[in-house]
Amino acid sequence: MPNERKKLAAPCGLYCGSCSELLLDKTCHGCGCECGQCAAGPHRNACTFYRCIAEKGLESCAECDDFPCTRIIQFAYDPIWRTHLPILENLRRIKRIGVEAWLDEQEAYWADQRRLDRWLQLHRECRAKYQQTYRPP
């Protein structure tokens, strides 16, 4: 992704600008970041969506002829990571209006601090449930 802002548009349809790893933990600069110092690189290496779009020469799942595939549907409806739920509609919106206009909408939407605080609380709850569910033996 060529410009700085586009690193906040994950290929799966998540908006990185509302992610707890970027806003609270300060461990990631967005999925498209290539600084080599944050969590984006390890996320990309582990991400099946990055591998899939790279193989197909795409920038996001919104461009894929197979959208919505089983993998993206299951990711959206993950019982622990409820923060994934918006991705299907986000990808449809990106396909319709383009990533730049979608990023404008996301920035405006998440400018409401109360909304963002509630979303970040949901991130914390999902993370706690994940850690509780997948605690090492």
Q: What is the tens place of the pLDDT at every residue in 77-107?
A: 999 999 999 999 999 999 999 999 999 999 9
The overall pTM is greater than 0.85: yes
Domain containing 96 equals 4-133
How many structural domains are present in the chain? 1
Percent of the chain scoring above 70 in pLDDT: 96
**Contacting residues for 114 by C-beta, under 8 A, at least 6 apart:** none
Question: Taking all residues of the chain, what is their mean pLDDT, rounded to a whole number?
Answer: 90
- Which one-letter amino acid corresponds to residue 95? K
Which pLDDT tens digit goes with each residue over 36-93? 888 888 888 899 999 999 999 999 999 999 999 999 999 999 999 999 999 999 999 9
